[in-house]
């Protein structure tokens, strides 16, 4: 029971902090329902990270396809796996149309989420889901470019700490430009409709 309360509290604090951190950036481009986006936002940009094979990759490697990008960590007890499952289900619902989209999961916990760990983890959700890790500095840089809030929070669990973080899924166009984002709390069909609106 106490663990459930702590997880709930961490989630609430993360959302509050994300709202404060992201503030005007997202409020200026996000309507209140469905898929969000209008105008150009300062979200996204160049990054250099490490894939599951231990190879260095940049954002340029994903040009030509839309990117569906989510930030989290593999030890996340609920929000991350739930969001990744929703992403996977949305892509499965799109069927052949999903070939135009590369789903990407970027860790915010590079200490524990090595490239190999990420590679194994993403296989549980979707065959084409790309898991990316990197150094502490590389992760900080890409999180900053995507306006992602995250913070390590020590606790008394066996893991020693959790990672509070914002829970947005970003849709980027084939040139790496921000199009819109989805909330992890939105219905599956809203994500599917949003992807169809922007991608097809």
Q: For residue 182, give the CATH number of its domain.
A: 3.40.30.10
Kindly give the confidence (pLDDT) of every residue in the chain, 200 residues in length, as a single tens digit, with 9 standing for 90 and above: 444 434 444 444 444 444 444 444 444 344 333 454 445 568 999 999 999 999 999 999 999 999 999 999 999 999 999 999 999 999 999 999 999 999 999 999 999 999 999 999 999 999 999 999 999 999 999 999 999 999 999 988 777 899 999 999 999 999 999 999 999 999 999 999 999 999 98
- Per the structure, the complete domain to which residue 164 belongs is given by 2-199
Conformation bin of residue 66: beta by default, left when phi > 0, alpha when psi is -120 to 50: beta
Bridge partners of residue 180, in order along the sequence: 171
Pairing of strands 101-107, 130-132: parallel
| Residue indicated by tokens 């789903």 | 103
Size (the chain), residues? 200
Asked whether the beta carbons of 110 and 135 are under 8 A apart, the reply is yes
What does the pLDDT read at residue 35? Answer: 52
What does the pLDDT read at residue 93? Answer: 97
Asked whether the beta carbons of 111 and 137 are under 8 A apart, the reply is no
Asked whether the beta carbons of 159 and 173 are under 8 A apart, the reply is no
What does the pLDDT read at residue 130? Answer: 98
What is the pTM for the complete model shown? 0.81
Please count the structural domains in the chain. Answer: 1
């Amino acid at each position: 029971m106490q663990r459930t309360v702590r997880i709930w509290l961490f989630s609430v604090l993360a959302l509050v902090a994300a709202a404060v951190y992201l503030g005007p950036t997202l409020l200026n481009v996000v309507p209140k329902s469905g898929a969000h986006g209008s105008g150009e936002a300062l979200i996204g940009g160049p990054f250099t990270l490490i894939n599951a094979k231990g190879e260095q990759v940049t954002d340029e490697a994903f040009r030509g396809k839309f990117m569906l990008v989510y930030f989290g960590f593999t030890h996340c007890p609920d929000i991350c796996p739930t969001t990744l499952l929703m992403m996977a289900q949305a892509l499965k619902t799109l069927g052949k149309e999903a070939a135009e989209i590369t789903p990407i999961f970027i860790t915010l916990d590079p200490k524990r989420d090595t490239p190999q760990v990420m590679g194994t983890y993403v296989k549980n959700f979707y065959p084409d889901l790309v898991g990316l890790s990197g150094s502490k500095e590389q992760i900080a840089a890409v999180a900053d470019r995507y306006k992602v809030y995250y913070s390590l929070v020590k606790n008394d669990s066996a893991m020693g700490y959790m990672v509070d973080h914002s829970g947005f899924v970003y849709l980027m166009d084939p040139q790496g430009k921000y199009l819109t984002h989805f909330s992890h709390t939105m219905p599956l069909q809203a994500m599917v409709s949003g992807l169809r609106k922007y991608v097809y």
